[in-house]
Structure 1
Amino acid sequence: MTKQMPIGSGFGAASMAMEVVSGIDLSGKLAVVTGGASGLGLETTRALVHAGAEVIVPARNPERASTALRGLAGATVELMDLADPHSVAAFAGRLVSASRPVSILVNSAGIMATPEMRDADGHEAQFATNHLGHFRLTLGLWPALVAARGARVVSVSSRGHQIAGVDIEDIDFRYRPYDKWIAYGQSKTANALFAIALDHRGQYHGIRAFSLHPGQILTDLARHLSAEEIASFEALDEAGRPIVDPERGMKTVQQGAATSVWCATSPQLNGMGGVYCEDCDVAVVNEPSVGRKGVSPWASDPASAERLWQLSAAWTRLDTV
């Protein structure tokens, strides 16, 4: 029986991040939020701090991140470049060496629809940043997650996963023409599969993992898109303002961050993991159709998740117990 069944959370598409943490006490908890100084990540940081958590935001540009977080007591910034394995290892090593349990890890940073680029190892940049960077970070923080005795790892995927599954034979576009949207879809499928394989390993150590679709929100993630591409999404009204229609998936950042925060904090998910969520609930499995609610079969398949894990472990030379 699939675990991908809604649980009737009582929240919905229009729920906001602050609503889902109402009554939740995170005092004494440490959270790490990548991308936590802009867009959805910033709203996630705000909600976790509001609930009492201390939040560390790793950032490639600490000065800019600190400016964005100014006045938000409880949030601090540390240097980390998600695309640089040495930087990720150094950040994780500092936290582990400080013997600081990490109760919540929200993998929210990402890039979308970029021109063809590669990392230092030759891996396609969207996959390398969105998946491999977070794979390295999560495994680097593994001792700190175990030490929390009840940690959650939340990976921000997207309905964009419906564009493409992971081409395990040609992830890096060595043999097929590069397509920025297929590359993005592949990386978002990887986020969902990562949560499945991570939860399978982590649950024995008190670590549960989730992935999610936040909604269709115009943030800095769209910086590589042309005006024509943005217009094609029909996300702006005649005055150029974002259309807000949560039932159609078009949300504010406060609404978009709600599912991340729900996955990270809700007691309704106690004892659960390895599922893809949307609109503050567990999503159903749907046949692939871009823009449809639900998770595609290729992003909810444990066998595919295990294949991706094994390849990621080999490429990063990292693994858990």
Structure 2
Amino acid sequence: MEQTPQTPIYSGFGARTTAEDIVRGTDLSGKTAIITGGYSGLGLEAARVLAEAGAKVIVPARSPDKAQAALASVPGAELEELDLADPASIDQFAGRFVESGRPLHILINSAGIMAIPEQRDERGYELQFATNHLGHFQLTARLWPALKRAGGARVVSVSSGGHAFSGIHFEDPLYRQRPYSKWEAYGQSKTANALFAAELDQRGKAYGVRAFSVHPGSIVTGLSRHLSDEEMEAMGALDEQGQRVFSEMTEERKTIPEGAATLVWCAISPQLDGKGGVYCLNADIAHLVHEDSSASQGTAGVRPWATDGQAAARLWSLSEQLTGLSFL
């Protein structure tokens, strides 16, 4: 099957484009979207603009009571319970949705954790890989009947320029033998997000389901809660009053509305009709950068190991093995 080239299409958008810019003039009435992490940060902004454009938005949250107040800004939002680190919780949420008979036009896998101290889920799996990748792999698998039912759906996998920190360590992805590194583990999970989108697109296009991965940019959100003030200061994200904000904005550093733009572009833009499996940033397809570029430059494009077809197929097999699920 023909693959979409990992090269920019010069969409006309850019680093300062907002999610509202993307949806302007678009009517999403009759469309249904599920957004993990849709109660805070980028996910909440994507949920808000999609709902205001007419989409029915479902937001699953680990603690629905805590998410309730945030979702007041999302017209008609449905709040559900979901813990991506708990396979039973994933099955229960997806089962309820599939049994409702509704089609699923948009799935944005936005929830995640970043650079946490070493933790493991009940299966003994390293928690960043388990939550950021395996949880979304299982969720997408369980929602597959609803995605097919849409007759044309998109799955958006929120990756990161942090994928430059690490490819997939297939010999020990769960840190059972090697020393744990919080940033390497995060990078591995973000590479997994990109590879999952690439393989899902290859397998899903025959059913009208296209998939994309996204680097939203560097944004100060709750995702940084496990980082020290010293780490934030080193990133230029701590002001003189000790507040976690960027001291100055750059093409890479974004506000939340700007960061959500590429998520929404991949979810709805007609510019991507007939395309898929690519890594996107700044509301465009990213260019491929050389694997020898330093990790600090990782946000400028996508590394080869995050677009490699053989690695994507291998990760899919590993994910089936680790979750006990097989689909597509």
Q: Which interval holds the TM-score relative to the shorter structure?
A: over 0.9
1:166 aligns to what? 168
Equivalent of residue 296 in structure 2, options 274, 284, 291 = 291
Partners in 2 of 1:252 and 1:58 — Cα distance? 24
Q: Does 1:28 align with 2:30?
A: yes
Once the two structures are overlaid, the 10-residue window that deviates more, 287-296 or 179-188, is 287-296
| Amino acid in the other structure paired with 1:316 | T
2:266 aligns to what? 263
| Amino acid in the other structure paired with 1:96 | V
Is the 1:243–1:250 contact (alpha carbons within 8 Å) kept by the matching residues of 2? no
Partners in 2 of 1:316 and 1:49 — Cα distance? 32
Q: Describe the superposition over 1:199-222 as per-residue Cα deviations: whole angstroms up to 9, x where unpaired.
A: 011000000000010010111000
Q: Does 1:274 align with 2:274?
A: no
Alignment RMSD:
1.2
The CA deviation at 1:47 is 1.2
Unaligned runs of 5+ in 2: none
- The TM-score normalised by the length of structure 2 is 0.95
Equivalent of residue 301 in structure 1, options 260, 285, 308 = 308
Q: Does 1:222 align with 2:227?
A: no
Equivalent of residue 315 in structure 1, options 301, 305, 322 = 322
- Between the two proteins, the alignment pairs up a number of residues equal to 320
Is the 2:48–2:73 contact (alpha carbons within 8 Å) kept by the matching residues of 1? no
Aligned ranges 1:128-207 → 2 under 5 Å: 128-207=130-209
| Amino acid in the other structure paired with 2:148 | V
The CA deviation at 1:74 is 2.1
Q: Secondary structure at the match of 2:69?
A: helix
The CA deviation at 1:237 is 4.1
Q: Secondary structure at the match of 1:113?
A: coil
Q: 1:167 to 1:99 in 2, by over 3 A?
A: same
The CA deviation at 1:243 is 3.4
| Amino acid in the other structure paired with 1:302 | G
| Amino acid in the other structure paired with 2:325 | L
- The TM-score normalised by the length of structure 1 is 0.97
Equivalent of residue 245 in structure 1, options 222, 246, 249 = 249
2:67 aligns to what? 65
Once the two structures are overlaid, the 10-residue window that deviates more, 116-125 or 66-75, is 66-75
The CA deviation at 1:274 is 0.2
The CA deviation at 1:71 is 4.4
Is the 1:53–1:74 contact (alpha carbons within 8 Å) kept by the matching residues of 2? no
Partners in 1 of 2:250 and 2:51 — Cα distance? 25
Unaligned runs of 5+ in 1: none
Q: 1:29 to 1:244 in 2, by over 3 A?
A: farther
